[in-house]
Amino acid sequence: MPTPRRRSPAVLLPAVLLPVALLLAVGCAAEPAAAPDGPPPASLAPMEPPPVGDVPRLSEVSGRTLPIEEYLLSGEQFRQYDRAQATLVTRCVRGFGLDYPGPATANTEAGALATETQTTHRYDPVELSDVSAHGYHAPDPSAGRKPSDVPSLSPDVTTVLGTGLGPGGRPAPGSAAAFHGRDLPPGGCIGAAQRELTAHGGTGRDSDVAVGINYEGFERSKADPRVRAVFRDWSRCMAEHGHDYPTPGDALKDPRWATNPSPSAEEISTATADVRCKEGSNVVGVWFTVETAYEEELIRRHQRELDAAKAANEAMLDTARAVVTP
């Protein structure tokens, strides 16, 4: 069944792009997250709502960043890592005497990921021009693009590429140990590239503590009394337009929107009211401000771990830059 593929109020988590089969471009973003009017998950310890200063009126948050982004790899940094990994993999495969053109240029969707921040789609929908055309659906990123011709790889190249490294730096299942009598690096050429790039720090992904704060701040903010208050204002506004939803997340996840590949007139009407009610109730301004306060407190509690993770990632990116610098 088709579903609206808008990236909703959720955390954006890019993943390293592994060059398998010329390009295995894996952009990993969280699925749409609800915004329930209730307590945070039971797994989260009780936490006093942090104080906030002045709350700006915001209809969207482009150009603004959350505090945790200082400790998360940006889309462009992931692409730097990917370019260096592609360079190392290509050298390695050719070193086994194989004809390997190297990974193709990253696709359009992966390229767009590089310019996004954690706030890009976090409180969606927020743009009237967007919802008036697409409702809760999102534009098709492949529209107007010709399908790319990706040549298939020979079995020999696939063997030498390997499957890379899994958790803990161990070779992922499926990698061969040798090729025509020559030992292969653990995890193949992909594993060798990953190992070289992370030799002085970093793992090729965001640290668990930073990812945890990214999620936790969002979850706690949804349950904060100040955010719940503007959700109630938003809900009253929606009722005035004939729509019955307790929270923005409930409108976004209405199962009716998933029944068609394109938005209905009712969906567009609902999403348009959603955006206007968010603006009238200053949902985005309050939500962003409150979430920022939670993140600042969580960062303070985990400062040492975050500083270490940031330093490790900087070392990894220094290595990546050295690989691609002539």
> Where is pLDDT greater, at 122 or 149?
122
CA distances from 76 to 18, 72, 199, 208, 312 (A): 15, 11, 21, 20, 17
pLDDT at residue 216 is higher than 90: yes
Q: What is the mean pLDDT of residues 307-325?
A: 97
Give the CA radius of gyration of the chain.
22
The confidence band for 101, taking pLDDT boundaries of 50, 70 and 90, is confident
Task: Average the pLDDT over 302-315 and give the result.
Answer: 98
Residue 17, pLDDT above cutoff 50: no
The Cα 7–Cα 104 span in angstroms is 26
Q: Rounded distance, CA 168 to CA 206, Å? A: 14
221: phi > 0 → left, psi -120 to 50 → alpha, else beta; which?
alpha
Angle at 3 between CA 121 and CA 208, to 5 degrees: 45
Q: What is the mean pLDDT of the chain?
A: 85
Surface-to-core class of residue 207, CB atoms within 10 Å of its CB (0-12 exposed, 13-18 middle, 19+ buried) = buried
What does the pLDDT average to over 225-253? 97
Q: Give CA separation, 189 vs 38, 95, 193, 240, in Å.
A: 48, 10, 6, 60
So what's the pLDDT on residue 126?
96
Residue 314 phi/psi, 5° resolution?
A: -65, -40
**Cα–Cα distance between 232 and 248 in angstroms, integer?**
10
| Packed helices 283-301 and 225-240: angle between N→C axes, nearest 10 degrees | 160
Token readout for 196 is 């070289």
CA 89 to chain centre: 25
Rounded CA separation 228/235 (Å): 10
**Residue 115 C-beta-side C-alpha neighbours within 13 Å:** 6
What span, in angstroms and rounded, lies between the C-alpha atoms of 8 and 183? 46
Q: Please report the pLDDT score of residue 26 as a whole number.
A: 25
pLDDT, residue 116, reads: 75
Predicted local confidence at residue 117, as pLDDT: 83
Contacts of 128 (CB under 8 A, 6+ apart): 272, 275, 276
Per-residue pLDDT of 109-139, as tens digits, reads 445 555 678 888 899 999 999 999 999 998 7
Q: Give me the pLDDT at residue 87, please.
A: 96
Mean pLDDT of all residues in 317-324: 97
Q: pTM of the full predicted structure?
A: 0.83
Q: 3-class DSSP state for residue 182?
A: strand
Beta bridge partners, 183, equal 178
pLDDT in tens, 18-59: 443 333 322 232 332 333 344 566 678 999 999 999 999 999
DSSP-assigned letter for residue 178? E
Is residue 265 scored above 50 in pLDDT?
yes
pLDDT higher than threshold 50 for residue 15 = no
What pLDDT, on a 0 to 100 scale, did the predictor assign at position 144?
53
Which residue's structure tokens are 């030498």?
A: 160
Contact status, residue 132 vs residue 272, Cβ threshold 8 Å: yes
Q: Residue 315: how many CB atoms within 10 A of its CB? A: 16
